[in-house]
Amino acid sequence: MADDWQASGRGYDVAPGDGREDGRDAAHKIRSYLLGLALAVGLTIASFYVAGSSLIWGPGIPVALIVLAIAQMGVHLVFFLHISTGPDSTNNVLALAFGVLIVSLILLGSLWIMANLNANMMPMDQLMRMQR
């Protein structure tokens, strides 16, 4: 019996909302989604409060907003997309990691190009002489 329980995936790390498929599970899924919704709304309200108040020192506000945004992404990944570290979601985690890698490469490449754009541009006086 215990082997069947672990083999079915319920003995491992399971994302909220995943698990049994019986009638009792519907209430658990609804509670999980409502908890995710409450956390997402709470983090959104916290972000607006941090941005609009003097609760945090001025230069620290972007850092606080970044932390709240990362927490918001975590809530969405766990409660709504059901990304977990269980063996059933290995492909999901790999796809997520690959997506993060691609977005990071595009972001860092764009920042690098913009930072070095001025050094690679022709000086304005030479450009004006070429147009005459």
Block residue for tokens 């709304």: 41
Tell me, what DSSP letter sits at residue 60?
Answer: G
Report how far residue 23's alpha carbon sits from residue 20's, in angstroms, rounded to the nearest whole number: 9
pTM across the whole model: 0.59
Tens digit of each residue's pLDDT (9 = 90 or more) over 1-49: 444 444 455 555 556 555 555 667 788 888 889 999 999 999 999 999 9
Quick one: tokens of 118?
A: 């001025």
Q: Residues 6 or more apart from 72 whose CB is under 8 A from it?
A: 40, 43, 44, 47
Q: Give the pLDDT score at 118.
A: 74
Least confident residue range of 13-17, 71-75, 82-86, 109-113 = 13-17
